[in-house]
Structure 1
Amino acid sequence: MHVPSSLQVKVKPNAREDRFAPGDDGIWLASLKAQPVDGKANEALIALVADYFKLRKQQVHLKSGASARIKRLLISS
């Protein structure tokens, strides 16, 4: 599987289950059970992306959008 160096992700917190999938317009879609409180949703997103691409959580970084629905992630190898 090709691991991109950066991703744009549209996040939906408070979902029934954690899910991560590519979207039609190049923006990835993430549904998270975590609430958007105290950075819990951001932590859950990083863990979900790392698990999807079989990386360590330390390899996934939130570049922008910490409090926004659309976030930019950087992936280091």
Structure 2
Amino acid sequence: MAFYSWRDDSLILDCHLQPGARGVGFAGLHGDRLKIRINAPPVDGKANEMLLKFLANAFAVPKQRVTLLSGQQSRQKRVAIKAPAVLPAELEISRC
């Protein structure tokens, strides 16, 4: 199973978040999820907020088009990106 799927024009990502990391960025796969490193701590929603900002930047969309669907209190998250303008090459995402 891939770490992503499409729902109409929205890209759905299954992510494994590593909060408190030294760097910020995509870090390959963690099982069947996309591993993302975030240097914000996992307190008061800071890691979730940084994740949404990072994904908005990576996919070239306004932050309002990135939504956390599930996993608010977990490292396992599902995120929707509405109409991504860019698909980062390193992720090898294809449109269905």
* TM-score bracket for this pair, using the shorter chain length: 0.7 to 0.9
Q: Which has the higher contact order (CA 8 A, sep 6+)?
A: 1
Counterpart residue number, 1:43: 49
Structure 1 stretches of at least 4 aligned residues deviating more than 3 Å after TM superposition: none
Which letter does structure 2 place at the counterpart of 1:61?
T
In structure 2, the gaps of 5 or more residues are 1-8, 84-96
Deviation by residue 1:9-29 (Cα, 9 ceiling, x = unmatched): 100011001112552754211
Between structure 1 and structure 2, the one with the greater Rg is 2
TM (norm. structure 2) is 0.70
Give distance in 2, aligned partners of 1:42 and 1:71. 9
In structure 1, the gaps of 5 or more residues are none
Aligned length: 75
Relative to its length, the structure with more strand (as a share) is: 2
TM (norm. structure 1) is 0.86
Counterpart residue number, 1:75: 81
Counterpart residue number, 1:54: 60
Identity of aligned residues (%): 37
